[in-house]
Homo-oligomer: A and B are copies of this chain.
Amino acid sequence: MIKKKFFINGIARTIVAKPEDNLANVLRAQLGMTGTKIGCGQGQCGACSVIVNDELVRSCITSMNRVPDDARITTVEGIGTPDNLHPVQQALVTHGAPQCGYCMPGFVVSSKVLLDDNPNPTGAETRAWFQTHRNACRCNGYKPIVDAVMDAAKVLRGEMPQDELEFKMPADGRIWGSAYPRPSAVAKVSGTIDYGADLGLKLPPGSLHMALAQAEVSHANIRSIDTAEAESMPGVYKVITHKDVQGKNRITGLITFATNKGDGWDRPILCDEKVFQYGDALAIVCADTEEHARAAAAKVKVDLEVLPAYMSAPAAMAEDAIEIHPGTPNVYFEQNIAKGEDTDPIMAAATHTVEDEFYLQRQPHLTIEPDVGLAYYDEEGRLTIHSKSIGIHLHHAMIAPGLGVEPDKLRLIQNPAGGTFGYKFSPTMEALLGVACMATGRPVTLRYNYFQHITYTGKRSPFFVRLKFGADADGKLLAMESDWTVDHGPYSEFGDLLTLRGAQYMGAGYDIPAIRGVGRTVCTNHIWGSAFRAYGSPQAFLASESLMDELAEKMGVDPLELRYKNVYRAAATTPTGQTPDAWSFPEMIDLLRPRYQAALEKAQKESTANVKKGVGVSLGIYGCGLDGPDSSEVWVELTKDGVTLGVSWEDHGQGADMGALGTAHEALRPLSLAPESIKLVMNDTGVTPNSGPSGGSRQQVVTGNAIVNGCQQLVAAMKKTDGSFRTYDEMVAEGIAIRYAGKYTASMASACDENAQGSPFSVYMYGLFMAEVAVEVATGKTKIEKYTAVADVGRINNKLVVDGQMYGGIAQGIGLALSEDCEDLTKHRTMVSCGLPYAEDIPDDIELLYVESPRENGPFGAAGVGECPLTASHVAVINAIKNATGVRITHLPALPEKVLAGLKAL
């Protein structure tokens, strides 16, 4: 141990610590200063940034013996407090920068040092600073942060009073449609919100730390697991294997399509007979510290019969491939699409046909917060599991049988989540936490390191697509033929649904009268497929929006105008035969057109022999809801102090609190409540009803409608005959109910049939994307110079949330297009190697335009927004590279070497 004295946020502290431990751990685990976050743990994300003697350092890679005695250390807690925010913090709130918020303390600290050093930085200097200091954000595309730093600098230079940055309540008291900051924003920028790892550190003394013994091969039969040595390691309380699991030891995807050849019970909690993928959990060690647990987990010995690993769909489909799940074929589900007339004769007769093959890679979610959770028995004896779950009621049902717990004895709670982007639509560690808590009877906590987070949580499933368009002489699409293969990894949950998404979104946006195609779900040994923002659609639109450009090129017409000709207008139907809920594309294209033409002109003018510039467009669509008649339930209760809303609207970071508050506030407007009088009780199956999962941008629409329903019931009950409203006391005195269940079912929607025909979503969102790129000829490296998006997401509930979702989704689209991948387990092991975009990878110049078509089926006309910007934003980049260089990348990501090879092959 070393003993040192530091001045932490001005306070003298004596610290006794292991010399090799890092400063982040010491601040967090020893001093309880959890404002400093640990993201990657490898100095690649900056969430742990602190100031040591005026220098910005990443505390997760700063070992204690390198921190000098008497060091002055400043953490986010020392920069500002919730009631006394630093200008940087206030500006971040004002600009809606905090989404999941996990990176915010790091950005606050980093910005503080930047502005101490340079009181008047440019946006480019600010981005360069964040790039150099590895401050990574996965939610907001950096722009709101850079804009906030510019404003904070003004305040610090005395050019603007800080209170000018504060939200001003509109005169009419309406926050719907405003830039009201989300309720959690201040806690996020001040480092005072407790994420899962923070709560884990704050469990009662004697709580156990878990570590997993994991498979280091991708496919094997298990002969035996030997835990003896692990059990004898220091600090170990218990080593748990599948034998300790009281239930079926399987996680189920619940709803498996009738034609699915598997039964959906294919994912073990703790492996018993087989290892299905790298990282599969073989045993859990529970110990007094995480370090002890990990050391012991390394001593669990497994005797394996290693089997051939099928690391892609083609490999698993090979003739000689064995069944990964014996008894179930590796190709376990097929989804047809058949709309309109047979396409064979149409294609044969079409003036123009175009056909190509595409591959969208295994995109990693790269949340800054790695997966984390905790479990304990609550005061009613319920096994209570806290996690990042974005579907607490869904996961409740998915894991209860495997654990062997009666449903009423299981309670799931979502912690504040440092980003999910969909990976938490799958249970990850929930069942492991449950098993460990049941086996030990003690509170337990589990935290993945970033490598585990990458390798042992679901990823976006790669699609191999072959697509063909037939068009008439004018370019009007007549028919589409598709074939797509989904590598879903070893676990089937929602794999059939994802395959259906291919049918729903390939060619979406265009009125194509005839479609034929088939998709298939393939079991492989690569990382299992989980939801990822815009689930299934980036794969679909890579094909159809690339092919649209190929058709335009073949015809020699402008790709935007070709789209304009084909987009949904009245009487159009979607690929599933549904009538769209809005026909905004013509208006959206009209909005974009002058910008597009100017961009083309600029690109042409600025292109040189060394740097080729180009412009690409794409459109994207996503449905708001689960397939079919999606439902949600909430409760609304009048209290002495206002109204309490109970809702399971899980938060990825997208702004569930703001969505719920904005909707409820609007629905309760007759009561003239201040927003802070509406209390949110959220995301706890013990308290909040089943509002459905936070996936498919469904919550604003489906749960939003349920909130409106509940609020309206309450308002009606409170209303007196004279038009005024009863108080709480009057309601109680008159014996009128004060609590109402708000319910909604999207009964106008219907599930798709075996030919993928139906009206699966009650509301859709529409996006139109334009990327302006510069490709360095010598290296093939693509830089995005500007990005423009036009979105119709209905009436906007909250401007900050919607802008933030758009910025962040576009940034992920850029990453998807250019750098992100998680294919090679020997290489894709870190944020950097997985291609996370940093500040300089995302342009400062992002322009957002909205067409606000009110949606009939959305609350107050709103649609969802989260998926919209990632449906097809990557394809605009791909199309722009083609426009700039003549190189079409069909297999993503468009890494420099791939573009370079294309350039050389021209």
A interface, CB within 8 angstroms of B: 1-3, 10-19, 21, 26, 29-33, 65, 82-83, 187, 192-194, 199, 202-206, 209, 235, 237, 288-292, 374, 376-379, 384, 386, 413, 443
Residue of B nearest to A5 (CB): B681
Contact A192 B11 (CB under 8 A): yes
Residue from B2, B10, B18, B33 within 8 A of A82 (CB atoms): B10
Task: Report the nearest B residue to A376, measured CB to CB.
Answer: B1
Q: Which residues of B contact A33 (CB under 8 A)?
A: 32
Contact B206 A378 (CB under 8 A): no
* Nearest-Cβ distance from residue A46 to partner chain B, whole angstroms: 23
Given the known interface contacts A3-B378, A384-B3, the answer about A206 and B291 at a Cβ–Cβ threshold of 8 Å is yes
Question: Which residue on chain B has the smallest CB distance to residue A379?
Answer: B2
Are B199 and A14 interface neighbours, CB within 8 A? yes
The smallest beta-carbon distance between A74 and chain B, in angstroms, is: 13
Asked if B1 contacts A378 (CB within 8 A), the reply is yes
- When chains A and B are docked, how far (Å) is the Cα of A546 from the Cα of B16? 51
Taking a contact as CB atoms under 8 Å apart, the answer to whether B32 and A1 are in contact is no
Residues in B with CB closer than 8 Å to A17 are: 204
Q: How far is the CA of A783 from the CA of B563 in the complex (A)?
A: 96
Query: This chain: how many copies in the complex?
Result: 2
Residues A16 and B199 in contact, CB atoms below 8 Å apart? yes
When chains A and B are docked, how far (Å) is the Cα of A237 from the Cα of B561? 75
- Do A83 and B10 touch (CB < 8 A)? yes
**A11 engages B187 (CB within 8 Å):** yes
Asked if A289 and B443 make an inter-chain contact with CB atoms under 8 angstroms apart, the answer reads: no
Report Cα–Cα, A187/B10, bound state, in Å.
Answer: 10
Q: In chain B, what residue has the closest Cβ to A30?
A: B202
Distance from A520 Cβ to chain B, minimum over Cβ atoms (Å):
44
Partner of A384, one of B1, B10, B194, B291: B1
Q: How far is the CB of A259 from chain B (nearest CB, A)?
A: 42
Question: Which one of A1, A82, A374 has the highest number of Cβ atoms from chain B below 10 Å of its Cβ?
Answer: A1
Alpha-carbon separation in the docked complex, A31 to B376 (Å):
18
Q: Which residues of B contact A290 (CB under 8 A)?
A: 205
C-alpha spacing A18/B193, complex, angstroms: 22
Closest 9 A/B residue pairs (Cβ): A32-B32, A205-B289, A206-B289, A1-B376, A11-B192, A288-B288, A30-B202, A2-B379, A18-B204
Question: How far apart are the CA atoms of A781 and B38 in the complex, in Å?
Answer: 62
Taking each of A12, A193, A209, which has the highest tally of chain B beta carbons within 10 Å of its own beta carbon? A12
Chain B nearest CB, measured from A828 CB (Å): 31
Residue among A29, A187, A205, A376 with max Cβ neighbours from chain B (10 Å): A205
Question: Which residue of chain B has its CB nearest to the CB of A380?
Answer: B2
B443/A16 in contact, CB under 8 A: yes
In addition to A3-B384, A12-B193, A30-B203, 12 A-B residue pairs with Cβ atoms within 8 Å of each other are A1-B379, A11-B187, A11-B192, A16-B443, A17-B204, A18-B204, A26-B204, A29-B205, A30-B205, A205-B288, A206-B291, A206-B292
Measured CA separation A1–B290 after assembly (Å) = 21
Does the CB pair A21–B187 fall under 8 Å?
no
B205 near A16 with CB under 8 A, answer no
Q: Are A3 and B413 in contact (CB under 8 A)?
A: yes
- B187 close to A12 (CB less than 8 A): yes
- When A21-B204, A30-B203, A384-B3 are in contact, do A14 and B378 touch as well, CB less than 8 Å? no
- A16:B82 contact, CB within 8 angstroms: no
**Which residues of the partner chain B approach A209 to less than 8 Å between Cβ atoms?**
205
Contacts of A187 in B (CB 8 A): 11-12
Are A204's CB and B288's CB within 8 A?
no
With a CB–CB cut-off of 8 A, which chain B residues contact A11? 82, 187, 192
What residues of chain B lie closer than 8 Å to A3, measured between beta carbons?
A: 378, 384, 413
Would you call A2 and B378 a contact (CB within 8 A)?
yes
Task: Tell me how far the C-beta of A539 lies from the nearest C-beta in chain B, rounded to whole angstroms.
Answer: 38
Closest to A641 in B: B70
CA distance A249 to B721 in the complex (A): 87
B194 engages A16 (CB within 8 Å): no
* B206 and A288 contacting across the interface, CB-CB below 8 Å: yes
- Across-interface contacts of A386 in B (CB, < 8 A): 16
Chain B residues positioned under 8 Å from A291 (CB to CB): 205-206
A291 to B206, CA, bound (A): 9
Contact A206 B235 (CB under 8 A): yes
In the bound complex, do residue A31 and residue B202 qualify as a contact, i.e. CB atoms below 8 Å apart?
yes
Query: Which residues from chain B contact A194 at a C-beta distance below 8 Å?
Result: 13-14
Identify 25 residue pairs between A and B in the complex whose beta-carbon atoms are under 8 Å apart, listed by A's number.
A1-B204, A1-B376, A1-B377, A1-B443, A2-B379, A10-B82, A10-B83, A12-B187, A12-B192, A12-B193, A14-B194, A16-B199, A16-B202, A16-B376, A16-B443, A17-B204, A30-B203, A31-B32, A32-B202, A205-B209, A205-B288, A206-B288, A235-B237, A235-B288, A288-B288
